[in-house]
Amino acid sequence: MSPGRSRGTGGTGERRSTRPADRSDLWWRTAVIYCLDIETFQDSDGDGVGDIDGLADRIEYLASLGVTCLWLMPFQRTEDLDDGYDVTDHLGVDERLGDLGRFVELLRVAHDRGLRVIIDLVINHTSDQHPWFLSARSSRESPFRDYYVWRDEVPEDPGNSVFPGQEDGIWEYDRATEQYYLHNFYRHQPDLNLAEPRVREEIARILGFWLQLGVDGFRIDAVPFLVEEPGAPDGQDPHAFLREMHRFVRRRCGEAALLGEVGLPHQEQLEYFGDGGVELDLQLDFLTAQMVFLAMAREDAAPLARVLAERPVVDAAQGWAMFLRNHDELTLELLGEGPMQEVFEAFAPDPRRRVFDRGIVRRLAPMLENDPRRLRLAYSLLFSLPGAPVLYFGEEIGMGEPEDTDDRGGMRTPMQWEAGPTGGFSGAPREELPTPPTGGELGPDRVNVRDQLRDPESLLSYIRRLIAQYRSTPEIAWGELRVLDVSPASVLAHASVSAGAAFLAVHNLSAQPCTVRVPVGEIVGEDACFEDLLAPTEGLSADGGQITLALEAYGHRWLRAADLDPAP
């Protein structure tokens, strides 16, 4: 990739670390990641569009929340037909949002407050208005022709679009040069040809440029498409490109991380970590996220417990990124048709809230009927499951989506900072905002940062507590995952065990209170004493290797035993 002069206990398929790891350098393993879109976070100049200066003004809020890493969605130059993912210049900043000078200042401010910054890396495709593609489609003799994938005829097995119902296929006819070009996403997003060495050199320049400015890593969009034919870099070894990219990034910045979007089952995701930590450092855990919703829909912990027990153990330098919602639909593909319909009926009974026959376009708060108990339960799961937790902006206050939304735009309304017609997002009139805040019970007059900061019982206050406790309990991320056998079926009990300490989380997914006996003897011995991390108590002592807990409806407990020798 050199551009010229540059230089748990799993069931099946488990792997152990192949080398010792210095935890101080593996910041991504314990990061609390906050994903945001600059365009909808804070407008500093009153033009109705969020910008870099506005985000810089809010860094103090993010630091006080406890997050340690910002994930910035695309902010490069774009036609803005796909929320910025149709990039027209990978080395520039969209003029609406600011410029490179302001971006460098943003990095300084974030780093000064202890926050790392990773940015979206969109290299599967470009906009059809990118200079490379404009040249490529101007003539078959263009020097940029091979930057993209062209065919004289549509293949017999043409493949399916990522957006069924919005695109009929993945090959688009170009009249100017009388050939078809590949687009796995929208037709205005032609796929790059990674088999072309010059394209890989361009990607190296992009990586090197942003690393030199000071970013701490990249979230790589749609990773599986980077290794699939046609357009993969090496048909004999499709993962060679990911290893090449990882080596390049580490040469340029030894502490930079690669977070990958790989929406596959765990066993297939292993390939994208690479043997010994040579490809992705973190991967978003789509399967566990989907099982969380299936378990909540059924009020039965079994699907989630099974997936956690079978999740492979990866290299010590790698990890899973845990999330509940993000800027896209809540995809349910990995569940299978029957379970998918169960989740649809539970959380998106209105068919207008479903897209592409696979996902839900709703934020978490309205999905859970804005029930504080269920919201706290869900976020307790997020922060107690081993991995790096990822929050999507606005989740910490329980934002909603517009009532008339029927696409992914419902997830992308502006941040609600205070009461008022624009929620403190902008000084522009509401009617001039490209996307106004949502209204109703979850609009800014009822759900906003300012009010919740003053309320110790608010969702924001609770999530701040969860983050603080997660950051002060290292065994959550570093310990060995154990899923414990308990009843009733609505209860999930899991532990993270490390040398000298054990963390235990117990969650009741049901609306019915219950009492549960947890067999802790197998993880901490017979007589260990547990500290309650989320409530002031005198502590709990094991009795005959068990502890008994009374759980309210949707109740949960975080317990920790320290200064002990964990049972083998």
3-state secondary structure of 422: coil
Strand residue runs (E) in 416-535: 480-484, 491-498, 501-508, 514-519, 529-532
Contact in structure between 287 and 320 (CB atoms under 8 Å): no
Would you say residue 36 lies in a domain?
no
pLDDT of residue 23: 63
- What Cα–Cα distance (Å) separates residue 37 from each residue in 323, 396, 415? 17, 15, 10
Residue 521: give its domain's CATH number: 2.60.40.1180
pLDDT of residue 285: 98
What residue has token string 């043997």? Answer: 275
* Cis preceding linkage at 349, omega within 30: no
pLDDT of residue 225: 92
Would you say residue 535 lies in a domain?
yes
Would you say residue 549 lies in a domain?
yes
- Listed residue (536, 531, 541, 520) closest to 562, CA to CA: 531
Would you say residue 236 lies in a domain?
no
Residue 178: give its domain's CATH number: 3.90.400.10
Would you say residue 48 lies in a domain?
no
Strand 179-182 versus strand 217-220 pairing type = unpaired
Would you say residue 471 lies in a domain?
no
pTM: 0.94
DSSP 155-224: -SS----SSBTTBS-SEEEETTTTEEEE-SS-TTSPBB-TTSHHHHHHHHHHHHHHHHHT--EEEETTGG
Would you say residue 492 lies in a domain?
yes
Domain termination site, one of 160, 182, 204: 182
3-state secondary structure of 458: coil
> What does the block give as tokens for 318?
């790698």
pLDDT of residue 168: 87
Mean pLDDT, consecutive 10-residue segments, the chain of 568 residues?
41 37 78 98 97 98 98 97 95 98 98 98 97 98 97 90 87 97 96 95 98 98 88 74 95 96 96 88 98 98 98 94 94 96 96 90 96 98 97 97 73 94 97 91 97 98 98 95 97 94 97 96 84 83 89 97 62
pLDDT of residue 2: 54
Domain termination site, one of 166, 182, 198: 182
Domain that holds residue 166: 131-182
Domain count of the fold of the chain: 2
The residues annotated as belonging to the active site are 221, 261
Residue 146 backbone phi and psi in degrees, to 5 = -80, 5
pLDDT of residue 8: 32
Would you say residue 384 lies in a domain?
no
Work out the angle between the directed axes of helices 240-252 and 197-213 (0-180°, nearest 10).
Answer: 30
- Listed residue (99, 98, 106, 113) closest to 47, CA to CA: 98
